[in-house]
Structure 1
Amino acid sequence: MTISTSRPEDLIRAEAKALGFDLCRFTDLDDAWPAAARLEAYVAAGRHGEMGWMEETLERRRHPRGMWPDARSAIVLGVNYGPDADPLEVLSHPDRGAISVYAQGDDYHDLIKSRLKALGRWIQARFGGELKVFVDTAPLMEKPLAERAGVGWQGRHTNLVSREFGSWLFLGSILTTLELAPDAAEPAHCGSCTACLEVCPTNAFPAPFQLDARRCISYLTIELKGPIPLEFREALGNRIYGCDDCLAVCPWNKFAQAGREQKLAAREALRAPPLAELARLDDPAFRTLFSKSPVKRLGRDRFLRNVLYAIGNSGDRALAVEARRLLDDASPLVRGAAVWALAQLTSYAEFERLRAERMIDEPDSEVRTEWFDPPDLD
């Protein structure tokens, strides 16, 4: 269906701005989708780790019309979530937890989807047509779509970069049967900068524009269900949910001050919470603290796993009391992480004493492995 109204794109942009979106761009869906080949190679190399849904939905991800064959245009929208302080400053306070900027407020999926639905209703009332709204939980490759629409470009860290908002953009998309005039694609503006690659604590970028999720702290602390491999635990530092390093060092972030009135607010309690307090969370307290937060989906046990690794990296022997208490936790995942934390914070003699006491009744093989294969002790 073709719209008869002159410049409907301008009207849609104005409505999107009124609803709280910072960017609104358009693209058609007629051409081939080069990103499909890159995704196939990524999955074939196993770099998606335990994210099996990427392989299961590979066919639908090959082209936006794989999601909906009748779609003719895409409306790509961005919301600035640029932080109001240096997100890496918390890394210099090892007794506190570093939570990724995007997870310090309410879940952006819910916030953006409500705005997308409101915009969709307005578009249908004004112009007709059919449409579907998407946030990144659906198998739609939003970053290549955003690049094609001119929202930004995929930087060397594989994240989208905007000239106006740097690396701090949430994305949402609307596929529609309307034929809307496409915007020009955004060429890359990274130049020779490699800051995002060099800052990565775990060397998760095998090459520019390539990410091995299995080495990425965001994947390790959020997607990985079991114990985090030993080789990465020290590199976690005090990062307990996600990692902002490669985003935060992007030079284009200096322009992210624009549109601050649309920024999604962080909760003070989640900016740099004390590790000692987090280690004491039972399940009800965890659910209360992270109500409406994406962290809640992680679950208390995996979250405490991350907190205990951070405690082990803190160098603060006073925090050993928290790890020692969690040796009695019902979750083997938590108990195993507590063993590792104690191995970092206690003397050889104390660790040996605890091992002798605890190994007698420990039923879980992975926890027993932690006791028998600790890192070098002082």
Structure 2
Amino acid sequence: MQAWGRELGFSQIGVAAVDLSSAEPGLQAWLEQGFHGDMHYMAAHGLKRARPAELLPGTLSVVTARMDYLPRDTPAGWQAVEWQRHDDPAQGLVSLYARGRDYHKVLRQRLQQLADRMAAQLGPFGHRVFTDSAPVLEVELASRSGLGWRGKHTLTLSRDAGSMFFLGEIFVDRALPATAPASAHCGQCSACLDACPTQAIVAPYRLDARRCISYLTIEHGGPIPPEFRPLLGNRIYGCDDCQLACPWNKFAQRAVLPDFDARTQLTGRGLLELFGWSEEQFLRQTEGSPIRRIGHERWRRNLAVALGNALRAAGMADGSDPADQAASVESSTSAAASLKAELRAALQAAIDDPSALVREHVTWALAQS
């Protein structure tokens, strides 16, 4: 299967047994603490996530797959490059995984092709493919099948590939030989916990989604809690900080498929340009992208917060010591003042946005000056 998987763009294939009972207490405790936030579907499915044979009756084994997603042209030292994007408050920052094609579509199609090849070799068998699309304990299955171990940030980590990859599964009604599990190698490192802007990683291996920027900008449909808005910075869709800080990601692998090449309209673009997209433009520019699923309203909500943070940053730059008459300072101050005016104008133009959600965040943003 490894050879078939590589031909289809996967980096690694594993096989896990279906008894995940030892993971049930941790899952139950996480749900009871409310760490899933508004993701009510996680509580609705309950422990079914840890019981593959209940999710798909007859399941005897789970084939797991890893697909790397760093764009093919990712430069050496990419982590430093990504950190630098945080330093430009007027640039919209989209999580790396979302800059290309929607991974759900890519993995689902190729997992099905892998299942078809298995069927051709083994004979017809019952199966179903999953890619972050059902109550499946993906990280647990990945760890048990040797794709990696659960990092302290709760993502799967591999010694050979860091954490910059997607996971997918094929539930099958055949008992296949399981691959050896992976051992953990986080040791005493706490880089991911220290890097999280909102302290969403409340303890090693424990994430409170309600504090996570990825959750707040993608899964959460209502107002972003005011205490977290300044911490979002210029992040408008997702957050990679815990992965950027992880030492193992110096081994992250580039994608082999062009699907995950970064789209220019989603990479390094200014907040003002992105905030100016009409709903029609948003739908056109995000066609085939995972970003489209949050809709135009949440997109503008997220951008309004980022614009407010940029406005505050421009105001700080605009307030340089007037006694310092150096030409470079004057130039920098003038640029900050100009940017501040543009940001305020864009926000002011949206003060009567049809969406109450957007209006509330625009009002907050304007107050940041």
Does the CA contact (< 8 Å) of 2:70 and 2:255 recur in 1? yes
- 2:330 corresponds in structure 1 to none
In the alignment, is residue 216 of structure 1 matched against residue 212 of structure 2?
yes
1:78 Cα offset (Å): 0.5
Q: Cα distance, 1:178 vs. partner?
A: 1.9
Q: Secondary structure at the match of 1:328?
A: coil
Amino acid aligned to 1:143? V
**Structure 1 residue 262: Cα displacement:** 4.1
CA distance in 2, matches of 1:327, 1:231: 21
TM-score, structure 2 as length reference: 0.87
Deviates more, 1:126-135 or 1:191-200: 126-135
Report deviation, 1:32.
4.2
Instruction: Please name the residue that 1:19 is paired with.
Output: 8
Give 1:46's aligned residue.
Answer: 34
SS in structure 1 opposite 2:224?
coil
Q: CA contact under 8 A between 1:200 and 1:246: conserved in structure 2?
A: yes
Asked if the contact 1:78/1:170 (under 8 Å) is kept, the reply is: yes
> Residue 36 of structure 1 aligns to which amino acid in structure 2?
E
Q: 2:82 is matched with which residue?
A: 87
Per-residue CA deviation, residues 216-246 of structure 1 (Å, 9 max, x unaligned), is 1111111111111111010000000110000
Q: Does the 8 Å contact 2:20/2:50 carry over to 1?
A: no
Q: List structure 1 runs of 4+ shifted beyond 6 angstroms.
A: none
Gaps of 5+ in 1: 1-11, 346-378
Show the counterpart of 1:105.
100
1:232 aligns with 2:232: no
Q: Which residue of 2 aligns with 1:372?
A: none
Residue 295, structure 1, aligned to residue 295, structure 2? no
% same residue: 42
2:155 is the alignment partner of 1:167:
no
Provide the rounded CA distance (Å) in 1 between the counterparts of 2:84 and 2:112: 36
Q: CA deviation at 1:275?
A: 0.3
Q: What residue is the counterpart of 2:321 in the other structure? A: none
Match of 1:310 in 2: 306
Letter aligned with residue 336 of structure 1 = E
Secondary structure at the counterpart of residue 116 of structure 1: helix
Report if the CA contact (8 A) 2:107-2:168 is conserved.
yes
Q: Distance in 2 between the 1:35 and 1:326 partners?
A: 47
The whole-number CA distance in structure 2 between the counterparts of 1:275 and 1:17 is 38
Deviation at 1:260, TM superposition (A): 4.2
- Structure 1 window deviating more from structure 2 (171-180 vs 77-86): it is 77-86
After TM superposition, give the deviation of residue 169 of structure 1 in Å.
1.2
Q: How does 1:346-361 map to 2 (within 5 A)?
A: none
User: Which position in structure 1 is the counterpart of 2:346?
Assistant: 322
1:340 aligns with 364
1:270-290 Cα distance to aligned partner (Å, 9 max, x none):
112110011111111110111
Aligned position for 1:63: 51
Contact 1:22 1:262 in 2 (8 A): no
Distance 1:221 1:327 in 2: 21
CA distance in 1, matches of 2:17, 2:289: 34
Structure 1: distance between partners of 2:40 and 2:151? 25
| Structure 1 residue 269: Cα displacement | 1.6
Is 1:49–1:213's contact at 8 Å kept on the other side of the alignment? Answer: yes
Measured on the aligned residues, the alpha-carbon RMSD in Å equals: 1.3
Q: Give 1:59 shift.
A: 3.3
Q: 1:107–1:293: 8 Å Cα contact kept in structure 2?
A: yes
Q: Mean Cα displacement is larger for which, 84-93 or 36-45?
A: 84-93
Contact 1:88/1:244, CA 8 A, preserved across alignment: no
The partner residue of 1:28 within 10, 17, 27 is: 17
Which residue does the alignment assign to 1:363?
A: none
Contact residue 79 and residue 262 of structure 1 kept, 8 A: no
Contact 1:163/1:255 (<8 A) preserved: yes
Q: Per-residue deviation at 1:71?
A: 1.1
Which has the higher mean CA deviation after the structures are superposed, 232-241 or 33-42?
Answer: 33-42
Q: Distance between the aligned counterparts of 1:210 and 1:59, measured in 2? A: 18
